[in-house]
Structure 1
Amino acid sequence: MATEPSTKAKAWVIFDRIVARAAPDNVHSNPWIRSADGQLRFEPDFDTLARLLGVPLHLKAGTQSGVPALALDVWLSYELRRAGFNLDQVWPRPVHPRILPAPIANLLKALPAGTRKAVADRIERDGAITGATSSSGIILGKNYLKQVDVVISDWVTGPELLISTKRMDSSYGKNAPNRIEESYGDAKNLRLRHPLAALGFVFGLRSDILQKEAATAEWLFDLLGKLGREDDAYHATCLVLMEYGNDEAIPETGEEPPVTALPEPGREVDDENAPAPALDAIVDQDIAQLPKVKILSEQIPEELAPARFLAAMVTRVLGATPVNMHKEARARRSSPALR
């Protein structure tokens, strides 16, 4: 008897389809824009973000499923591919398995066709193979292992970009202090071992906090800004302010569970099911029925703006590597559209 796919497996198939439609045949638009006054800026694809944020609402996925915050991870990795980093460089990947190190991807391409198919099928089936593939990025900080949500890394360079994401859709006064406290500790742990990596933090927040708990919102915005200004914290921080209807609210299933015990290096735990098989037409129908989500860009403080954050992350990665690395990302940044 077939088992019912998990909420995360259902979400992945919709996430993947949204990203595939936004970048047909893995061809991404260039996010860099140069304005008439000569200013270079990163222009995020907020339409794709809004669709991705609608997926957990459509599935009624509670916070403990991990799906609400996963929508942010998928979008950030998509934006980094728009910036010119390739499919296997940025994790999570837009296909299963979510983490496939570049050397293994290159080996697959070099294998004879028959062997390549057999190995690819094994990777697709197993998802997490010890020491090879994984469903989550686990990085050693100064003192402990940390699951990082969006990663650029390679064995040649080590971690080049590490972004942690959090999301809050309710119970702001109760949950916000815990999220901020965790973020400070995580920043220091990662920064001290990987000082050259671009280290960022993205916080997704439902906009009704502005009406329900205005004082908490002011406090939270202030602390998020400070997280991105201190020498031993993040290089940049970001706020995604989401507006959606009360009828679509995510059910309260408790706080997103903290990662309190991670496996030892080399011992992977696969917490992701492969995307649930579905016909494109059915998935497209799901996408058409997604709840409407609006990104309130104008109410996000400038220092926490997604455009500023993404520009800072990409610029830092390029600034910390030689000019013969990340050539496509450099070419895109140096050839912006004029607007």
Structure 2
Amino acid sequence: MATEKTAKAKAWALFDRIVEIAAPDGEHTNPWVIAADGKRRYQPDYGTLCLLLGVPLSLKANTQSGVPALALDVWLSYELRRAGFGPDQTWPRPEHPRILPASVANLLKALPREDATAVKKLLKKEGAITGVTSASAKILGKNYLKQVDVIITDWSTGPELLISTKRMDSSFGKNAPNRVEESYGDAKNLRLRHPQAALGFVFGLSANALVEEPGTAEWLFDLLIKLGQEDDAYHATGLVLMEYSGASVIDDGEEPEQGVPEEPGVEPQDDVVPAADGDLEKSIAKLPKVKIRLDATPDELDPGRFLAAMVDRVLKATPVTMHKGARKRRAEPASF
């Protein structure tokens, strides 16, 4: 377990620096563009995604460590900030603690500087304070608690966006049925309790599947498309088809156990970022190359289409007085 925590801490240091470089001083590019056909489209930052996906390859982190799937979570949260949602609204946040309720974030802004500094010091300590900070978010569905990978929520609104991610890098025929079946059950569980929330699912798949098991890949694509068309499942589904230039992620067939909430008190935490050693930029420059195979991605599962659907769903389900930053960005797309 100690090795896994070290791998995740190293990954967070790299993830945070990559996102920081992509959005210097917290200034994000506008993802909305007007395409050649005159229609507004969401243009994801695939360059940043490729860098993030290179981190688990560089660290040789297997799926059980949680690092490979975490790369997708970090990217989706980053994309939502590009769309205009605040850094404290989208979880995981771009700094530790990854989960911080909006009420606590607002309190920090209102406190005198000296008091705010003391509270921030407490929040940034290793270990999560139950009910205040956390490394992951668990949401109650109709029948059971479910860890949600990317989320926008507040006590006054309830969950507004819930995105689950899965990743598969090998043993496609063996692992695909289980992961899709789990995702379908999770969708129903969350949708029945939170019908107004934008509910999405993103599947990260090694492009090796196209060559090694093309039949399984075709079957999987079809199921993912149908998952995004069910009236009582996801509002949209997306596919990140990854092609590596070197060694693949070590897929041991299992992702970390989500478990159940622990008893009140201080929870162990493994997302505390170690102090920068001055070599982060060098490490980022040497990350293995990753390519996103958009050419082999069905239109219904295009990441840009998925993100547009999620943002649109959140904005349609809330008054115009809310999420003004996101509304402004969508209303002022750039030429593409």
**TMscore range, shorter length:** over 0.9
Structure-1 residue corresponding to 2:157: 157
Structure-2 residue corresponding to 1:337: 334
Secondary structure (helix, strand or coil) at the match of 1:255 reads coil
Q: Does 1:287 align with 2:284?
A: yes
Q: Distance in 1 between matches of 2:108 and 2:270?
A: 22
- Give the CA deviation at 1:36: 4.0
Structure-2 residue corresponding to 1:238: 238
Secondary structure (helix, strand or coil) at the match of 2:125 reads helix
Structure-1 residue corresponding to 2:317: 320
Q: Does 1:48 align with 2:42?
A: no
Match of residue 301, structure 1, among 293, 298, 301: 298
Secondary structure (helix, strand or coil) at the match of 2:129 reads coil
After superposition, give the CA deviation of every residue in 1:56-85 in whole Å (9 maximum; x if it has no partner): 000000000000000000000000000000
- Give the CA deviation at 1:248: 1.9
Structure-1 residue corresponding to 2:221: 221
Secondary structure (helix, strand or coil) at the match of 1:202 reads strand
Aligned pair in 2 of structure 1 residues 226, 265: CA closer, same or farther (>3 Å)? Answer: farther
- Give the CA deviation at 1:274: 0.3
Q: Distance in 1 between matches of 2:275 and 2:281?
A: 13
Secondary structure (helix, strand or coil) at the match of 1:324 reads coil
Structure-1 residue corresponding to 2:116: 116
Asked if structure 2 preserves the Cα contact closer than 8 Å seen for 1:101 and 1:154, the reply is yes
Secondary structure (helix, strand or coil) at the match of 2:200 reads strand
Structure-2 residue corresponding to 1:257: 256
Q: Distance in 2 between matches of 1:336 and 1:266?
A: 46
Letter in 2 for 1:122: L
Q: How many aligned residue pairs are there?
A: 335
- Give the CA deviation at 1:131: 1.1
Letter in 1 for 2:24: P
Structure-2 residue corresponding to 1:78: 78
Secondary structure (helix, strand or coil) at the match of 1:13 reads helix
Q: Does 1:168 align with 2:163?
A: no
After superposition, give the CA deviation of every residue in 1:247-285 in whole Å (9 maximum; x if it has no partner): 4222244421343x3116867744423012123x30001
Secondary structure (helix, strand or coil) at the match of 1:53 reads helix
Q: Distance in 2 between matches of 1:128 and 1:161?
A: 23
Aligned pair in 2 of structure 1 residues 331, 172: CA closer, same or farther (>3 Å)? Answer: same
Letter in 2 for 1:312: A
Q: Distance in 2 between matches of 1:243 and 1:289?
A: 17
Letter in 1 for 2:273: P
- Give the CA deviation at 1:38: 2.2
Structure-2 residue corresponding to 1:210: 210
Structure-2 residue corresponding to 1:33: 33
Q: Does 1:23 align with 2:23?
A: yes
Q: Distance in 2 between matches of 1:226 and 1:268?
A: 41
Q: Distance in 1 between matches of 2:183 and 2:53?
A: 22
Asked if structure 2 preserves the Cα contact closer than 8 Å seen for 1:69 and 1:167, the reply is yes
- Give the CA deviation at 1:176: 0.4
After superposition, give the CA deviation of every residue in 1:41-69 in whole Å (9 maximum; x if it has no partner): 00000000000000000000000000000
Q: Distance in 1 between matches of 2:182 and 2:269?
A: 22
After superposition, give the CA deviation of every residue in 1:191-232 in whole Å (9 maximum; x if it has no partner): 000000000000000001000000000100000000000011
Structure-2 residue corresponding to 1:248: 247
Aligned pair in 2 of structure 1 residues 155, 4: CA closer, same or farther (>3 Å)? Answer: closer
- Give the CA deviation at 1:34: 1.1
For structure 1, which segment, 320-329 or 28-37, has the greater mean C-alpha deviation from structure 2 after superposition? 28-37
Letter in 1 for 2:250: P
Q: Which runs of 5+ in 2 are unaligned?
A: none
Structure-1 residue corresponding to 2:68: 68
For structure 1, which segment, 5-14 or 64-73, has the greater mean C-alpha deviation from structure 2 after superposition? 5-14
Structure-2 residue corresponding to 1:274: 272
Q: Distance in 2 between matches of 1:5 and 1:222?
A: 36
Letter in 1 for 2:141: G
Q: Distance in 1 between matches of 2:179 and 2:204?
A: 11
Letter in 2 for 1:327: K
For structure 1, which segment, 288-297 or 125-134, has the greater mean C-alpha deviation from structure 2 after superposition? 125-134
Q: Distance in 2 between matches of 1:160 and 1:320?
A: 8
Structure-2 residue corresponding to 1:131: 131
